[in-house]
Structure 1
Amino acid sequence: MHITLMKGKIHRASVTEADLHYEGSISIDRTLLDAAGFLVHERVEIYNIETGARFATYVIEAPNGSGTIGLNGAAARLAMIGDRVIIVAYASFDEAEAKFFSPRVVLVDPENRILPG
């Protein structure tokens, strides 16, 4: 049996860009990608804290240290610049792995800088 667990998340990130005319995805600062353990092109779920909207897309890399959280394409209609979002990636584990796995949780300030802790 396989179990799906949260692999990593970026909690309460602020949307910095929304580009309806881009072909799709979410742009995430490379620093945050590394901290959360996200891979480029990985599927992520996005939960808009402000509106309750929930949607999925894939990750593209934004410049390291930029603080960018950019919604592109159709996703740009589901959040506005300044909205706070939770970005989560999930992974499938067998039962033995699942018992010992610990997800990466990244807390950020309003400028999307990683908070200590």
Structure 2
Amino acid sequence: MEDVMRVMLKSKIHRAHVTEANIDYEGSITIDKRLMQEADILPYEQVQVLNVNNGARFETYAIEAEPGSGEIGIQGAAARLATVGDTVIILSYCQVEDEKA
């Protein structure tokens, strides 16, 4: 096969704790800016969130929270899938040419 692109894990924030769940917000996940920088996640980048407590998985986009705040805020409809104190894993992916994978 020629020109195969593989989707590979790029970034992972492991076992973060939800500090906010706000169903009345537009949507997204707010993440401490420092954590985003350390994990190489950009503002508005698509992320997958895995809830260790209840097994829920959902996709959304990242928004920066105050640096050093430790904030992990689940916003909008996704707030039905996580509550304050839940442990989550936040993942982002990239596409890589097959020969570079």
TM-score w.r.t. the length of structure 2 is 0.95
Larger mean CA deviation between 27-36 and 88-97 belongs to 88-97
Amino acid at match of 2:27: G
Q: In the alignment, which of 87, 91, 101 is matched to residue 88 of structure 1?
A: 91
TM-superposed deviation, 1:95: 1.7
Cα distance between partner residues in 2 of 1:89 and 1:56? 10
Secondary structure of the 1:76 match is helix
Q: In the alignment, which of 2, 5, 19 is matched to residue 2 of structure 1?
A: 5
1:12 and 2:23 matched:
no
Q: Deviations over 1:65-96 (max 9, x none)?
A: 00000000001110000000000001100023
1:47 and 2:50 matched:
yes
5+ unaligned residues in a row in structure 2: which ranges?
none
Aligned to 1:111: none
Aligned to 1:110: none
5+ unaligned residues in a row in structure 1: which ranges?
99-117
The percentage of aligned residue pairs carrying the same residue is: 52
Q: Deviations over 1:8-64 (max 9, x none)?
A: 010000000011100000000001000100010000000000000000000000000
Cα distance between partner residues in 2 of 1:56 and 1:43? 7
Measured on the aligned residues, the alpha-carbon RMSD in Å equals 0.6
Aligned to 2:33: 30
Secondary structure of the 1:66 match is coil
Cα distance between partner residues in 1 of 2:58 and 2:15? 16
